[in-house]
Chain A
Amino acid sequence: MAITSRKQAAQIQPQGATVREQLRAMDDSGVVSAFLGGEERAFSELVDRYQTRLLNFIYRTIGDREKAEDLVQEVFVRVYRHLHRFDRSKKFSTWAYTIASNLAKNELRNRSRNPLVLFQAVQKNWQDDDRPLQFEDSTSRPDDMYRKRYLREIVEESVAKLPEHHRNVFILRELEGKSYEEIAEITDCNLGTVKSRLNRARNSFAEIVAPYME
């Protein structure tokens, strides 16, 4: 395996300037092999591919942007440290999401033990500065912008109201587009549990949001 990695890294080396492009053209497994073969730039490629996805996943799970960034960085530090132990017969993205999911779970557990942190997080959640503003279209009318913003807040709050194990599955499926099998692997549950949680999460979410959609 190591020899293959070195060969792949050697294939990348001579081109020099186009290394980035070559890495970009590779699938995850190729980039991982290149990194393990000594190509440090391959790690940056993995960061580029996953930073936004992981950030959104963690942010939607814990509801605190600053902490979400911190946890995404922790995911990459762990990936960097333990990539040599990663089972390459599996998907890299599943592994990365598993790390992210566990970190988010720990964060929520720590918060529940520390009411002060919970309070601060909830407070932060209400600060507009911390929230993304792309939802608004600058060409929209002010009342329309207000309605959209209000609706967005309702949706975000509704997701936050879901039980943690339902929310996790819900975000992985609806936001990240993961398959049931991948979600089962990430959350360490069987397929039946994933389907049942997802179904309940969808129903609960629709129930909470429904009055605001009419």
Chain B
Amino acid sequence: MDCQEFRENHLSYVDDTLPGVELVRMQMHLTECPECARHDATIRRSLMLFRNLPRIEPSSDFSQKLERRLREAKLADSVAMRVSRTRRLGAAVTVSSAVMLAYIGFSLRQVDTPQDIVLPPVVALAQSADVQMVSSPAPEMIAAVPVGLPLWTAALFAEQTSAHFASIELTSAR
């Protein structure tokens, strides 16, 4: 065994985790190499110093302080739980409201745009091509103005002019 191998295995040697054969080889090297023997002694002595450092003890008020901190932690946890529960409830309300609104909106859309609208039949009358347009106002209108009748009645009469002319045409045809 050379010094490099000894140093590489030294951790396990100090911790006593080497297999028997390796352990014997390490011990053999120690007897042959004063440098490695010194290294081994230095490591072991320094470790002993460190392991013998005094242990410190918790201060007298350690338990009281810990109890206080645990109480605070419990309180903070319960507050956080309440907040999260409220948030969860809020989220549930929001989601259900959104679903309800969506449903209402969808229903209204269905009412506004019915798929099958049945319209009543429309009877259209074709305008006859030979009807002469009257350029002058209807005689009822002319008659109405001097008598002092209000104009809206005249307008009513005017609406009936086409029917009036139709009846005149009918009479003249006879």
Contact = CB atoms under 8 A, between A and B. Distances in A.
Given A77-B73, A195-B11, A206-B43, A213 B56 contact: no
A159 B50 contact: yes
Contacts, number: 88
A103 to B, nearest CB: 14
A134 B56 CA distance: 8
A69 B58 contact: yes
Nearest to B47: A174
Interface string B33-63: 0000001001101110111011111110011
Interface stretch (B64-72, B107-115, B133-141): B64-72
17 contacts: A51-B62, A52-B56, A52-B58, A55-B58, A59-B56, A69-B62, A73-B66, A74-B69, A76-B70, A77-B70, A77-B73, A135-B54, A156-B53, A202-B14, A202-B47, A205-B46, A206-B39
B51 A80 contact: no
Interface of B: 10-11, 14, 39, 42-43, 45-47, 49-51, 53-59, 62-63, 65-66, 69-70, 73, 77
A37 B90 CA distance: 33
Contacts of B57: 52, 55, 132
Give the top 8 A-B pairs by smallest Cβ distance, nearest first: A206-B46, A134-B54, A199-B11, A209-B46, A135-B54, A132-B56, A132-B54, A206-B42
B59 A210 contact: no
Could you say which interface size class chain A belongs to? 35 or more
A73 B65 CA distance: 8
A133 B11 CA distance: 32
Contacts of A74: 69
A202 B49 contact: no
A117 interface: no
B49 A155 contact: yes
A203 B44 CA distance: 10
A56 interface: yes
A192 B49 CA distance: 26
B138 to A, nearest CB: 98
